Chains A and B, each alone.
Chain A
Amino acid sequence: AQKVTQAQTEISVVEKEDVTLDCVYETRDTTYYLFWYKQPPSGELVFLIRRNSFDEQNEISGRYSWNFQKSTSSFNFTITASQVVDSAVYFCALTILYYNAGNMLTFGGGTRLMVKP
């Protein structure tokens, strides 16, 4: 079975601070995909990034960056110079390469990020 743990349930920062959201996953499979989603107050989940288990390169997209480390089974998400609009719940999710079984995501419990002006 797969498991995703987001130990930080809530984080509060002041605008322009950097913040890192942790994600630790468990799976016995060697081929898998990791995702990050953002859930703003409106409720709809917004896709941020996908990473496969064979690609450990870090990725940067504007103020967002992701650090994937297989050695520690972690896929952490950093927001640089946070803004009030970053306030949301962020979910980390995992899916394994399971032929014909569909893309079944296992979600972490989420981290609520509050950015104060």
Chain B
Amino acid sequence: DGGITQSPKYLFRKEGQNVTLSCEQNLNHDAMYWYRQDPGQGLRLIYYSQIVNDFQKGDIAEGYSVSREKKESFPLTVTSAQKNPTAFYLCASSFRGTSHEQFFGPGTRLTVL
């Protein structure tokens, strides 16, 4: 089945450690996105990528980094510079172009202890 996978579902890390969240899609989408969701709030864009080897910062990129070496994969690294990393992280993908809806993965809940 086509879709987006994110792993793991739950992730615990100690403060000061970098952590990488996985996102893979087999929908043949060119564009991929990372969002952060805090309790009771909407989604905020962290980074997005329209094509391989290219990505742009979203609204809250500080403390995060990404790579896009393959069309299917868009991993997100939460670095120790992110001051409040505990959140729910959602990955999405879409065809390029404004009119296309984004398809979302199941999310990763990151808790920094």
Residues of chain A at the chain B interface (Cβ within 8 Å): 4, 6, 9, 33, 35, 37, 42-47, 50, 52, 91, 95-98, 100, 102-105, 107-110
The answer to whether B43 touches A104, judged by C-beta atoms less than 8 angstroms apart, is no
Contact status of A102 and B90, CB under 8 A, knowing A44-B104, A52-B99, A107-B43: no
Distance to closest chain A CB from B97 (angstroms): 7
Residue tally, chain B, CB below 8 Å to A = 28
Collect the chain B residues with CB atoms within 8 Å of residue A110's CB: 40-42
Contact B88 A95 (CB under 8 A): no
Contact call B31/A102, Cβ cutoff below 8 A? yes
Question: Across the interface, do B41 and A103 meet the contact criterion of CB distance under 8 Å?
Answer: no
B7 to chain A, nearest CB (A): 14
**A residues in contact with B41, CB < 8 Å:** 109-110
Given the known inter-chain contacts A47-B101, A102-B96, please indicate yes or no for A42 contacting B106, CB distance below 8 A: yes
Give Cα A79–Cα B9 distance, bound, in whole angstroms: 30
Q: Is the interface of A mostly helix, strand, loop or mixed?
A: loop
Taking A52-B99, A97-B98, A102-B48 as known contacts, 18 extra A-B pairs with beta carbons closer than 8 A to each other, sorted by chain A number, are A35-B101, A42-B106, A43-B106, A43-B109, A44-B90, A44-B106, A45-B104, A47-B102, A91-B42, A98-B98, A103-B98, A103-B100, A103-B102, A105-B45, A105-B102, A107-B44, A109-B40, A110-B40
B10 to chain A, nearest CB (A): 11
List 10 A-B pairs, minimum CB-CB distance, nearest first.
A107-B42, A45-B104, A43-B107, A47-B101, A107-B43, A109-B42, A44-B106, A97-B98, A102-B50, A103-B98
Task: Please give, as numbers and ranges, the residues of chain B lying within 8 Å of A100 by CB-CB distance.
Answer: 50
C-alpha spacing A91/B106, complex, angstroms: 16
Is B63 at the interface (CB under 8 A from chain A)?
Answer: no
Q: Residue B31 contacts which of A46, A98, A103, A107 (CB distance < 8 angstroms)?
A: A103
Cα(A29)–Cα(B103), bound, Å: 24
Closest to A50 in B: B101
CA distance A43 to B97 in the complex (A): 25
